[in-house]
């Protein structure tokens, strides 16, 4: 009988795993290391029942075989005269095996090593020839030579293509529609694949529903690869469990992590750097995707055809042959009636005017709610109007105008040279006079015959830089308008000045007829922003004056208009056809006629004075010229004089009304239309505009979300890894392979409270780094799996 030796201590492997695996199958698998002194043996223990936990793995040196004890501690013995092979299979006593046990949990004590018989055999060559080249551990249905770790190429490609495609789609939507400011026509300037705005708009509500799941799909593959890398691997099994549950993409996971941080629970540990990074980018995607639908909204708009294809385009507005075909006096009287009645000047149909590129004038080209601006010093063009935007060369009227309040006489250029002593005795019937440069000053006093506003006294001086020969109608016609007889009419670059000074005084009323009026019920306002030099003048004692100065010019001609962006270019001035008997008054020429309420101004400046020009200033701006008491009685009094801003508004309305009548006869809903050739018209459709949430912020968030997914996918998804995703089944396989010192009692309750999980490794690596065929499991110390190695 061979003599017995003391048991040898087994040196644990660097992955700190137990040297024995326990199984409930009544078999035991014994494997050797990759040295020349070890072999792998497998034996069956018939004495063990199916429910008995037995060791399945031990180490056998080449000088010994394992001598096993049964459940009662009795040592099994064999015949010493057996052959080497039979001795190996029946675990004879001719060899002594040194075994040891390395616990996975640091706090668990190491069990005592078993006693073995010493080895005494001459068959050492058998062990040399049987040198093992396979792992100590072996997965079911895997051959001894193992398999290489698989690659999941399709998942990696999908994880890259899908996030990039979604972000590109949103970028194209932003570029095509959402990058333009509110009211911009660029949203319907082009046609293309993204012009079906209903599909584009609704698609983002659908995409937002599935995008987060697509992100989860992409990240899941990267996580499975990252936990095999020392840099990102979780420090313990608890963190690995958290990652396997994808809680970094779940609002409940974020909330629970926040609660635990606030409460500072004793057993709580941080979820790890990998969880924090993945949660950060998941939060970005979780916030961005639902908001994509709020970055856009649909509105009524137009789509522009690429070129005119014979479609009939009907428009309204005067053309070259008809603009001068109207009687000047009758037209001026009609315009004056519109203005003094307080009608707001409105463009017809599309209600679109055109500005020069780069102009500061505000224009809303995406809807039909445009009105002429108060300041058109940069020039605007009035062309034919249709139901949609037009593109092409058309005939129209180009105008400039602007008005400003005058606070001192030095701001005047015509009225600063006024004659304060003219017509003081009342014997001169003239209602104006001509200055040395042939500029004209017209006078209007409040008529005693028409007294609709009884408590306000007013007088007007209107100065204009128009030459008296151009302002007064020729003896043989009323006005030649935009036609030319000897010379071309002044064009768009010839500015005409119009200045107005209005003297006023107001008196409280005590009664109107038999009706008593309490002055305390009314706040009678005098001029508040008047001209100091014009106070209490010789001609208007006891009155204060407010002043306005305007500049204007106009011309007719052709221009290239673009209804998409509301601009016009290449304006060419033209002359209208001469009309026998006169024609429409020019834009800047007709304003003095409207304000002084006369259809024509004779060269001797003597015109009727029995018109209510003063009340027209009130009514033109829809300012109440009459007040009532508590009983609704008519009082015939004004609560305030016209302030400087009121006078400015009244004159600006005169300019706008005259311009609209020149081109459209003042009709907002005309019944007469005519066919316009060689233009392109937009057809009504839906357009996509910016929503309540700025799309640039969402675009930046989506780009950060997609970039994180793409980087992780490129870095880790194309590497070999042991599984496609870190799912529950994978964690279950690790649990089945747990060591004997982890018992179910340690795992009671929530896993966050299981302290044993903190002491189990969390990195997935090679348990057999020294073997030719490795084994994937939980390892410590950063033992990464080898891509070129086979695993069983």
Report which of residues 116 and 408 the model is more confident about: 408
What is the total residue count of the chain? 792
pTM of the model: 0.63
Report which of residues 418 and 637 the model is more confident about: 418
Query: Where do we find the tokens 């008529």?
Result: 447
Reported confidence tier of residue 576, pLDDT bands at 50, 70, 90: confident
Domain count, the chain: 3
Report which of residues 431 and 383 the model is more confident about: 383
Same domain, 94 and 233: no
Same domain, 110 and 181: no
Identify any residues that bridge with 136 across adjacent strands, giving them in sequence order. Answer: none
Residue 771 pLDDT: 85
Same domain, 586 and 452: yes
Same domain, 332 and 269: no
Instruction: Centre a 10 Å sphere on the Cβ of residue 611 and count the other Cβ atoms it contains.
Output: 18
- Chain mean position to CA 33: 63
Tell me the DSSP string of 179-216: TSPTT-GGGGS--STT--HHHHHHHHHHHHHHHHHHHH
31 has a pLDDT exceeding 50: no
Tell me how many degrees the CA angle 232-235-238 measures, rounded to the nearest 5: 115
514 has a pLDDT exceeding 50: yes
Alpha-carbon distances of 344 from 105, 154, 335, 599, 626, rounded to whole Å: 89, 67, 12, 21, 20
Residue 701 pLDDT: 93
Query: Where do we find the tokens 């016209």?
Result: 642
Mean pLDDT of 456-481: 78
564 has a pLDDT exceeding 90: no
Q: What are phi and psi of 321, to 5 degrees?
A: -85, -15
* E strand residue ranges, 8-124: 22-23, 27-30, 41-44, 54-55
Task: Assess if residue 450 is contained within a domain.
Answer: yes
Tokens of 540: 């208007």
Please list, in sequence order, all residues whose beta carbon lies within 8 angstroms of the beta carbon of residue 264, skipping any fewer than 6 positions away.
none
Report which of residues 447 and 43 the model is more confident about: 447
Tokens of 226: 């990252």
**C-beta separation of 240 from 232 below 8 A:** no
Q: Can you tell me whether residue 670 is helix, strand or coil?
A: coil
Please name the helix (run of DSSP H) or strand (run of DSSP E) that holds residue 395, with its range, or none. strand 390-406
413 has a pLDDT exceeding 80: yes
Task: Assess if residue 138 is contained within a domain.
Answer: no
Task: Assess if residue 305 is contained within a domain.
Answer: no
Same domain, 546 and 642: yes
Please list, in sequence order, all residues whose beta carbon lies within 8 angstroms of the beta carbon of residue 222, skipping any fewer than 6 positions away.
159, 709, 712, 713, 715, 716, 717
501 has a pLDDT exceeding 80: yes
Please name the helix (run of DSSP H) or strand (run of DSSP E) that holds residue 548, with its range, or none. strand 544-562
197-206, 340-349, 410-419, 427-436: least confidently modelled range: 427-436
The residue segments making up the domain with residue 627 are 315-675
Same domain, 354 and 214: no
Q: Roughly how many angstroms between the first and final C-alpha of the chain, as a whole number?
A: 39
Helix, strand, coil percent values for the chain (each to nearest 5): 30, 20, 55
Reported confidence tier of residue 403, pLDDT bands at 50, 70, 90: very high
Summary mean pLDDT of the chain:
75
Mark 247-263 as b/e (b = at least 16 C-beta within 10 Å): bbbeeebbebbeebeee
Same domain, 479 and 372: yes
Task: Assess if residue 308 is contained within a domain.
Answer: no
**C-beta separation of 389 from 564 below 8 A:** yes
Same domain, 427 and 556: yes
Same domain, 700 and 649: no
Reported confidence tier of residue 76, pLDDT bands at 50, 70, 90: very low
Task: Assess if residue 306 is contained within a domain.
Answer: no
Mean pLDDT of 719-741: 72
Cα Rg, the chain, nearest whole Å: 49
301 has a pLDDT exceeding 90: no
Reported confidence tier of residue 727, pLDDT bands at 50, 70, 90: confident
401 has a pLDDT exceeding 80: yes
Q: Report which of 659, 781, 776 is spatially closest to residue 225, judged by C-alpha positions.
A: 776
Q: Could you say which of 648, 675, 702 is where a domain stops? A: 675
Task: Assess if residue 66 is contained within a domain.
Answer: yes
Instruction: Centre a 10 Å sphere on the Cβ of residue 626 and count the other Cβ atoms it contains.
Output: 15
Digit-coded pLDDT (tens) for 704-718? 999 998 998 898 888
Residue 630 pLDDT: 57
Tokens of 368: 């039909």
Residue 626 pLDDT: 56
Tokens of 154: 């399709």
Task: Assess if residue 144 is contained within a domain.
Answer: no
Q: DSSP character for 713?
A: I
Same domain, 375 and 514: yes
Same domain, 670 and 696: no
510-519, 675-684, 709-718: least confidently modelled range: 510-519
**C-beta separation of 88 from 32 below 8 A:** no
Q: What are phi and psi of 783, to 5 degrees?
A: -85, 90
Q: Could you say which of 99, 132, 165 is where a domain stops? A: 132
Q: Could you say which of 100, 132, 164 is where a domain stops? A: 132
Residue 663 pLDDT: 94
Tell me how many degrees the CA angle 589-616-626 measures, rounded to the nearest 5: 165
Query: Where do we find the tokens 């994880």?
Result: 159
Task: Assess if residue 684 is contained within a domain.
Answer: no
Same domain, 227 and 337: no
Mean pLDDT of 563-592: 86
279-283, 554-558, 641-645, 726-730: least confidently modelled range: 726-730
* Cα–Cα distance for residue pair 177/690, rounded to 1 Å: 8
Digit-coded pLDDT (tens) for 745-781? 555 556 555 666 777 788 888 888 888 888 888 887 6
351 has a pLDDT exceeding 60: yes
* Proportion of the chain above pLDDT 90, given as a percent: 26
Q: What are phi and psi of 176, to 5 degrees?
A: -75, -35
Query: Where do we find the tokens 């200033």?
Result: 617
């Amino acid at each position: 009988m061979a003599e017995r030796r003391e048991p040898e201590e087994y040196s644990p492997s660097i992955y700190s795993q137990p040297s024995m695996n326990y199984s409930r199958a009544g078999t035991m698998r014994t494997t050797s290391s990759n040295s020349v002194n070890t072999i792998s043996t497998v034996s069956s223990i018939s004495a063990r029942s199916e429910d008995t936990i037995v060791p399945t793995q031990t180490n056998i040196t080449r000088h010994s075989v394992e001598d096993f004890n049964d459940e009662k501690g009795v040592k099994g013995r064999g015949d010493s005269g057996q052959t080497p092979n039979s001795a190996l299979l029946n675990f004879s006593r001719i060899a002594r095996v040194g075994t040891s046990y390395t616990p996975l949990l640091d706090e668990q004590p190491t069990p005592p090593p078993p006693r073995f018989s010493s080895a005494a055999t001459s068959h050492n060559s058998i062990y040399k020839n049987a040198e093992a080249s396979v792992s100590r551990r072996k997965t079911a249905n895997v051959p001894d030579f193992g398999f290489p770790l698989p690659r999941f190429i399709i998942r990696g490609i999908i994880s890259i293509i899908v996030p990039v495609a979604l972000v590109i789609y949103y970028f194209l939507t932003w570029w095509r529609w959402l990058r333009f400011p509110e009211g911009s026509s660029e949203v319907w300037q082009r046609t293309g694949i993204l012009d079906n705005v209903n599909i584009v708009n609704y698609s983002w509500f659908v995409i937002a529903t599935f995008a987060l799941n697509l992100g989860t799909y992409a990240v899941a593959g990267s996580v499975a690869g990252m936990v095999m890398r020392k840099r990102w691997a979780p420090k313990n099994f608890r963190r690995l469990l958290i990652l396997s549950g994808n809680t970094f993409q779940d609002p409940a996971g974020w909330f629970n992590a926040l609660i635990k941080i606030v409460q500072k629970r004793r057993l709580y540990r941080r979820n790890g750097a990998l969880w924090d990074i993945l949660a950060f980018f998941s939060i970005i995607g979780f916030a961005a995707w639902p908001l994509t639908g709020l970055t856009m909204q649909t509105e009524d708009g137009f789509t522009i055809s690429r070129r005119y294809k014979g479609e009939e385009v009907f428009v309204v507005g005067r053309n070259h042959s008809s603009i001068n075909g109207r009687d000047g006096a009758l037209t001026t009287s009609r315009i004056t009636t519109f203005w003094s009645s307080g009608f707001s000047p409105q463009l017809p149909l599309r209600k679109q005017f055109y500005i020069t590129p780069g102009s500061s004038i505000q224009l809303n080209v995406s809807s039909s709610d445009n009105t002429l601006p108060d300041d058109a010093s940069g020039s605007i063009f009035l062309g034919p109007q249709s139901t949609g935007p037009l593109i092409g060369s058309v005939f129209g009227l180009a105008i400039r105008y602007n008005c400003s309040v005058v606070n001192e006489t030095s701001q005047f250029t015509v009225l600063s040279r006024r004659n304060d002593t003219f017509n003081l005795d009342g014997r001169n019937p003239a209602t104006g006079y001509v200055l040395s440069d042939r500029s004209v000053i017209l006078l209007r006093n409040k008529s005693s015959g028409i007294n609709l506003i009884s408590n306000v006294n007013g007088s007007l001086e209107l100065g204009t830089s128009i030459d008296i020969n151009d302002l007064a109608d020729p003896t043989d016609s009323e006005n030649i308008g935009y036609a030319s007889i000897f010379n071309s009419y002044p064009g768009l670059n010839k500015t005409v000045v119009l200045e107005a000074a209005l003297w006023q005084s107001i008196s409280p009323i005590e009664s109107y007829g038999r009706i008593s009026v309490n002055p305390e019920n009314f706040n009678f306002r005098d001029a508040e922003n008047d001209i100091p030099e014009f106070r209490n003048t010789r001609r208007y004692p006891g009155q204060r004056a407010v002043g306005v100065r305007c500049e204007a010019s106009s011309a007719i001609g052709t221009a290239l208009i673009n209804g998409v962006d509301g601009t016009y270019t290449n304006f060419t001035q033209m002359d209208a056809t001469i009309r026998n008997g006169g024609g429409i008054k020019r834009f800047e020429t007709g304003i003095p006629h409207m304000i002084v309420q006369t259809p024509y101004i004779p060269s001797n400046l003597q015109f009727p004075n029995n018109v209510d020009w003063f009340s027209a200033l009130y009514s033109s701006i829809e300012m109440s010229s009459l007040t009532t008491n508590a009983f609704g009685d008519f009082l015939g009094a004004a609560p305030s004089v016209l302030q400087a801003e009121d006078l400015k508004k009244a004159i600006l309305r005169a300019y706008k009304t005259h311009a609209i009548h020149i081109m459209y006869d003042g009709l907002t809903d005309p019944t007469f239309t005519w066919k316009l050739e060689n233009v392109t018209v937009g057809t009504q459709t839906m357009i996509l505009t910016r929503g309540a949430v700025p799309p640039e912020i969402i675009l930046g968030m989506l780009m950060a979300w997609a970039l994180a997914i793409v980087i992780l996918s490129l870095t880790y998804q194309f590497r070999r890894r042991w599984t496609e995703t870190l799912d529950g089944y994978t964690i279950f396989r690790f649990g089945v392979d747990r060591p004997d010192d982890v018992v179910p009692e340690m795992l009671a309750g929530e896993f966050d409270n299981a302290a044993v999980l903190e002491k189990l490794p969390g990195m997935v690596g090679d348990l057999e780094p020294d073997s030719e065929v490795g084994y994937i499991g939980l390892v410590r110390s950063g033992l990464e799996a080898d891509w070129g190695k086979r695993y069983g």
